[in-house]
Amino acid sequence: MAAAVTTVRDVLYHYTFARGLYERLISDCECHPQVARNVVALLLWFDQGTNKVISHLPSMSTTALGHLLNEGSCLIHCLRMRNVPAALPTPLLSALCQDSHMDDPDFFAVNQGHIARGVADLLDGVCTLIFDDRLYHLLRRYQTGLVGRNLELEAPYERVVVTVPEDCRSMFVTFSKGQPVERDDIFNYFRETWGDCIVRVLMEKTTGCAQPMYGRVIFKSKAFVSLVLNGVHRAPLFIGGREIWLRAYVPRRGSDNN
């Protein structure tokens, strides 16, 4: 007998609780959509083994959900730090993830890259369906009988990660005057923090003894840009004691990067 085919509709049904959580974070908690996506993906990453985190959340009060949102967002912020603080304040998340050993002071430091890459993988994979407003609108019309059979919902689900153009998975980096950070230092920061997540770093072309004032970081996935920013326009990082600022890259004509 042929194996049952998993359809797009099956996946949407399976992640109904995750979709509901995403909508509540935006509507009830007034959360930035990018933060909501990151936090839901983070909870899905923890929703493994016997944890089953997501299934506990539909009945959670808005106040408790707000606390969980703050914990998740704080954790995502700390994931981009070279030295993750020990014993992060995540009591609610820890209670929901009883078999994850989160109470171990070294848990996040040891698993930092693993968590970041896992969350990015979810954002690039099944989360592209979970956060697709159009698909869920179509599913709800199907559930209420407003539309009949639909080829898009009945299509087989295949996880295909589409490689987006470099401009869409790049970040623009600026330095304080007189305090540039070396190209290799930026590359190694992300490589050592998140593992295999970065393609290369470009720097401003300069002449003579002039120091570069900006650069560009190209990640392997757009999801890493989302994790760095997590709802803000610009995100600071400290590399070798020097502060750099990162924002989403907007291509300009006549770019000076090499």
Tens digits of residue pLDDT in 219-243: 999 999 999 999 999 999 999 889 9
Query: What's the alpha-carbon Rg for the chain, to the nearest Å?
Result: 20
DSSP strands (E only) in 30-169: none
Biggest distance spanned by C-alpha atoms of the chain: 72
Superfamily, domain 166-248: RRM (RNA recognition motif) domain (3.30.70.330)
Cβ burial 75-109 (10 Å sphere, 16+ → b, else e):
bbbbbbeeebeeebebebbbebbeebebeeeebbe
The percent of residues in the chain predicted with pLDDT above 70, rounded, is: 92
Rounded-to-integer distance, Cα 119 and Cα 122, Å: 5
Angle ∠(42,43,49) on CA atoms, nearest 5? 115
Whole-prediction pTM: 0.90
Domain boundaries, the chain: 8-144, 166-248
pLDDT in tens, 74-113: 999 999 998 887 777 888 888 888 766 777 878 888 899 9
The percent of residues above 90 in pLDDT, for the chain, comes to: 63
**Average pLDDT over every residue of 31-47:** 95
